[in-house]
Amino acid sequence: MHHTHLDKISSTQSYLTENINELSHPTLISCDQQTEGKGQYDRIWHSFDGTVCFSFTWEAASITSLTSLEIGFLITQFIKAEYNIETFLKWPNDILDSKGHKLGGILIHNTRSSYYVVGVGFNLFSSSSDTKQKFKNAFLFNTPQSKKSFCSKLYNYILKNRISSNLITDKWTKRNLYHNKRVRLVTKENEIIGTFNGIQNDGAILINQKAFYSGSLFIAE
């Protein structure tokens, strides 16, 4: 594994995507500070002192639409194995704490190479400057941690513990915080409210037994 950790960068995702053909696999790029991070649908990923941002190369799951679910599950498994902390999942790509607050998110870019680029933003630890921000955040730890070490250990773990595609949805469902709950899915076309019934074998969400492949998911009020 090749790991480069930088003090500051505009975007680990952009850097790795732009240099994918010159880098070997597996490669991990992490940083202490990211200035132009983006989340799903080009939303801004707000970076704080306690936030860690990193990107890595990844071979897609044999069913490519399950790739983000596999990575999300492996991240929760790593946190449990390494720190004995329970974390959970929200479809399609969010990591939550036990109260349903967002800890992190996953963004996958399909490059023209044989590898995907996976970007992760994670609220690793709470710091005094973070508490002064107007954004409400959940953090994995209450005290500072080594961002470089966290990223290196996590990437090593997920490389060594990949899951076959026929097992991903079952394993992901066990960490799904919204299962059988009343939810609201917002898509580009409309809004769907109903019961979260589970995940299809291709990664689609089932609401009222109907499949959806994209959108933002919320607990229905």
Comparing 61-65, 80-84, 126-130, 199-203, which segment has the lowest mean pLDDT? Answer: 126-130
Comparing 14-23, 71-80, 139-148, which segment has the lowest mean pLDDT? Answer: 14-23
- Same structural domain, 186 and 204: yes
The last residue of a domain, from among 156, 174, 192: 174
Q: Is 112 or 88 the better-scoring residue by pLDDT?
A: 88
The last residue of a domain, from among 174, 192, 211: 174
Beta-carbon count within 10 A of 89 CB: 25
Provide the percentage of residues in the chain whose pLDDT is more than 90. Answer: 76
Q: Residue 17's domain is classified under what CATH number?
A: 3.30.930.10
- Same structural domain, 167 and 193: no
- Same structural domain, 45 and 74: yes
- Same structural domain, 190 and 114: no
User: Which contacts (CB < 8 Å, 24+ apart) does range 143-148 have?
Assistant: 144/50, 147/5, 147/30, 147/31, 147/32, 147/52, 148/3, 148/5, 148/30
Confidence of residue 21 (pLDDT cuts 50, 70, 90): confident
Number of independent structural domains in the chain: 2
- Same structural domain, 87 and 165: yes
- The contacts of residue 132 (CB under 8 Å, 6+ apart) are none
**176, 91 in Cβ contact below 8 A?**
yes
Q: What average pLDDT does the structure give for the chain?
A: 90
- Same structural domain, 111 and 200: no
Write down the pLDDT at residue 9: 92
Write down the pLDDT at residue 150: 98
Write down the pLDDT at residue 26: 96
Confidence of residue 48 (pLDDT cuts 50, 70, 90): confident
- Same structural domain, 207 and 165: no
- Same structural domain, 169 and 187: no
- Same structural domain, 207 and 144: no
Write down the pLDDT at residue 221: 74
Residue 83 DSSP label? H
DSSP string, 48-63: -TTEEEEEEEEPPPSS
Q: How many residues does the chain have?
A: 221
Domain that holds residue 207: 182-219
Torsion-angle region of 199 (φ positive above 0: left; ψ -120 to 50: alpha; else: beta): beta
